[in-house]
Structure 1
Amino acid sequence: MAINFNNGVGPTQNGTSNTRERDNVTPMGRNVSSGTDSQAAEESTDSVQLSSQVQSLQSLEAKIKDMPDVDEAKVERIKSAIANGEYEINYERLAAAIQRFESGA
């Protein structure tokens, strides 16, 4: 037994066969342009100039990306201080930091 998913409707009967040709649209939904539009795009020369501030920001961003996520030297200093019993906790500073965190400030 064969199943017909078109229910007897052919491509010309459901209005989908000529839609792409009529609307001049590709399957991905892009409009098909004529040759003159592509020629105009090729002749146009757009340029962008970045300010010195943007260039500085890009340079800083590149430097930050090169930095490690964790300061290994600081981690080792803290580990050593804890192991030697030399690490001191400032409880007032810790409490203030917790309070700031909890209040959302």
Structure 2
Amino acid sequence: MAININNLQNTPQVKTDKVEQNVQRQQATVQQNASQAANQKQDSVSITPQAQQFSKLTEKAGNSSGIDQEKVDKIKQAIAEGKYKINVEQLARRIVQFESEIFSKK
């Protein structure tokens, strides 16, 4: 099998030419898109103050953990000091309510 080493020198030039052609095509496409965009009417969007406020509140809610850490700390402290009182009747009522909700869904 013979290898023609004379044509090896032309290979990088062919690749370079193809790359340059692709770049030129891309630049032409960008220029066409820019001229089309310049000819088109510009759209605008305005957001109501209520929507802005809603967006801020949604972001704030998303960033929060949903846990009132101050309340958790107070309860922990009350438990540690032996001052936390459990309402056993309310606890039993809620357990029964929870179990009835679970079993009624089946």
Q: TM-score, normalised by structure 1?
A: 0.47
Q: Tell me which protein shows more helix as a share of its residues.
A: 2
Q: TM-score, normalised by structure 2?
A: 0.47
